Structure formats: C-alpha cells, structure tokens
Amino acid sequence: MLKYVDVHSHILPKLDDGPEHIETSVKMLEEEYRQNVETVILTPHFKDAEHTPVDEFVAKRNQRATELWQFAKEQGATIPTLRLGAEVLLNCDLSEIKGIEKLAIQGTRYILIEMPYTAWYDWMFDSIYALIAHCNLIPVIAHIERYPHVDKKKLNKLSAMDVYFQINAEAVLDKQMRKNVLKMIDKDAIHLMGSDCHNQSERSPNLAEAYEYLDKKVSGEFAHYLNVNSHLLLDNEYIEKYASNYYQTEPQKGLFKRIFR
C-alpha cells in the first residue's frame, strides 16, 4: 500500500489560521493516518521577523508540536510521524533574517515559500536567489497554482534556479482549478503535492483523494513521480525536476505531452 508525505499542512493548534483546539488537530492527524499519510510536515505561517523573531517563532512552534504529540499519545491516537517546518512569506530581505535556516523543513535544506499575491517583481526573484546562494537553502514555492500573476515566463525564470513548485491537493480535486494544473504538469511546473489542510471542514486533509484521482483519471506515472519526490525531500535528496525525464523507458517517453495536448 502506498504511503504518502504531506509536505504542507496547518495542523498545529493556536499558532496561525489552523485549528483553534488541540482536539481538532489530533482528529486531523488521525484522518491523515487513515489516508495512508506516513509523515506530516507541520508548516505554520511565518510572516514577519520584525514582530516575531525566528527564535521566538521556532520555540512556540516546537512547544505546540510537543504538546500535540503528547496529547495524541495520551488519547491513544494513532498518527503519522511529524516533521517541523514553516510556510515563510517572501520579502525582500528574507536571506538576511537571522536564523532563517531554522525555518527549513526539519532535517533538510528545503524551505517552503509563500509568494506575495501581487504582481511578481524582480526583487522577488532576487530574494529567492539569495536564499539559494547565501543561505544554502532550496526554496519550494507553496501552492503554485494560486498566484494570479504567474505565467510561463516567470515559471521558467524560477525553474532555471534551484527552485521547486508545490500544488495543493484541492487544485487536483476542483474541476475548475484542475484545468490550470493540467497545463502546469505539461510544462514540468509541478514537483510536489500537499494538502495545505487547516481544519476538518472546508480545508480538511485530502491528500490521498488527490493522489487517487491523479492515479486513476490523469496519470499513475505522474502520481508516483510526485510521491517519490516527497520522500526524496524528506531524505534531503535532490528532487527530480522534470517529470518527463523521470521514466526513461521508450513507451513512457513523451507521456506527459501526449496526455495534455
């Protein structure tokens, strides 16, 4: 049976716009486990180092994670393995923030970056490049399908750097959003998938459902590619950037271009 990694989640209680109550957090983790998610990366929002220094944020995040794990144990809940990280809002001096490397996904150089929901300016690309060049980090752009100003030129500019793109499971399951996702798959512009879950209702854990949809309705090879990449990330290994290169046997070459054109 396939095991999944949820690379983007907001499950920690009382920390950002995720659940308010620890009981809800445990139920979300139990649901992740029922969906064969073996590891959940906890990525609460980090938005402003001036108001919340990195060390203060990390201390609070770690405390919440410890409380959650202990409460789940006391309740006899079966939950996935937990890894710590953050969803870091991009700003112009992100690479200069003291301790920025502490926001990378635990045990890795990968750092989940949320782009501003405005037009994308040159300083944004410079800031991302600085994370790579000066901080030795590997940026993963969160929910790449959600930014209104993204286009092929901007995707290519980021892809030319050591940058990867993550989509939300919702984008695969939603009929309207799926159209854009299919186009992005054809451009080799999707490398990872996460649930970005926040609660048990409208933003609940849904990773397995999205993987199953991709496997049955789109491409089992591509679903496998995303899953393999998530495990490579956990192991701090380099992710395969181009899905069309992932399968090298003759019958599979050009698979993605054939499906989406």
pLDDT for 251 equals 38
Structure tokens at 20: 């308010």
pLDDT for 258 equals 39
73 touches 41 (CB < 8 A): no
Q: Of residues 87 and 183, which shows the higher confidence score?
A: 87
181 touches 139 (CB < 8 A): no
pTM for the whole thing?
Answer: 0.93
Q: Of residues 118 and 73, which shows the higher confidence score?
A: 73
3-state class (DSSP) for residue 171? helix
| Alpha carbons 153 and 9: distance in angstroms, whole number | 29
Domain boundaries, the chain: 4-259
The model's pLDDT over 167-177, given as tens digits with 9 standing for 90+, comes to 999 999 998 88
The model's pLDDT over 229-256, given as tens digits with 9 standing for 90+, comes to 999 999 999 998 888 776 554 434 444 4
pLDDT for 246 equals 65
The position carrying tokens 């396939």 is 2
CATH fold for domain 4-259: TIM Barrel (3.20.20)
3-state class (DSSP) for residue 40? strand
| Alpha carbons 49 and 32: distance in angstroms, whole number | 31
Q: Which of 15-19, 44-48, 64-68 has the lowest mean pLDDT?
A: 15-19
Smallest Cα–Cα separation from 143: which of 195, 218, 199, 73?
195
112 touches 166 (CB < 8 A): yes
225 touches 240 (CB < 8 A): yes
The model's pLDDT over 50-95, given as tens digits with 9 standing for 90+, comes to 788 999 999 999 999 999 999 999 999 999 999 999 999 999 999 9
40 touches 83 (CB < 8 A): yes
